[in-house]
Amino acid sequence: MPAEEKDRLAALETALRECRVASIREDEPGRTSPWIVTFAEGCAIQRALFRYVDRPRPQLMADSYKYDIAAYELTKLLGVELIPPVVDREMKGRQGTLQVFLENCIREKDRRRKKLEPPDARAFGRALEELKVFVNLAYDDCFNSDDLYIHMEDWRVCRVDFSEAFAPVPELLPCCDLTVCSKKLYKGILELDEEAVRAALGRYLSDEEIGALLIRKNLVIDKIKALIAEKGEESVLF
């Protein structure tokens, strides 16, 4: 990830941690009932989502804000921007995460319903396929269009809500086949180091969850190498 991109993300993370809160709207609709936090004038961020549900594994129906921040930290290790910035922060005595609220975006399911077509269909399709590579690493719902958003100004694709991710399953997702991957993401996966993963994600994931993630990393690499051998690098990596 270029230095300017790292600096921009770091600035947004600082704003999420430090900006003064103007108002909080609690118990919004949704599976995890996030709060909508509005920041005071002058903050680099207008609004953010606060998630506080914390039912980590081995509890049944695992659902935790810690998996959200683990997913974001994983994208940083990989050098890609697929998730809006997320940080730890306490709100009204609750520990949780604040995530940048997506402005000027549309859910993928609403885009399809409204029949809005991207200006570059091939690039848009590749972006969706690239996200599937990451979702396989994080082991979350491959087809959750509720949490898949499109930036309308440039048609960038991003995903929110990984609060059920990182199941300790040492295999790739069923029915979520990999077809292509960006060179940037593939390079990040190849260079993903166990020590770095444990240092960045150890606060949020168990040893078993990290172990399964590292196995999935190797399975993704094997799959992409097999695709390259079958179709050629130009057809697989972009």
User: What sections of 191-231 are H helices per DSSP?
Assistant: 194-201, 207-231
Pairing between β-strand 35-39 and β-strand 21-25 as defined by DSSP bridges? antiparallel
CATH fold for domain 3-100: Phosphorylase Kinase; domain 1 (3.30.200)
What's the pLDDT at 146?
A: 87
Residues of the chain with pLDDT under 50: none
pLDDT averaged over every residue in the chain: 95
For the chain, give every domain's residue range.
3-100, 105-236
Q: Is the pTM of this model over 0.85?
A: yes
DSSP state of 72: H
Q: How far is CA 52 from CA 87, 104, 203, in A?
A: 12, 25, 16
pLDDT tens profile 22-81 = 999 997 665 668 999 999 999 999 999 999 999 999 998 999 999 999 999 999 999 999
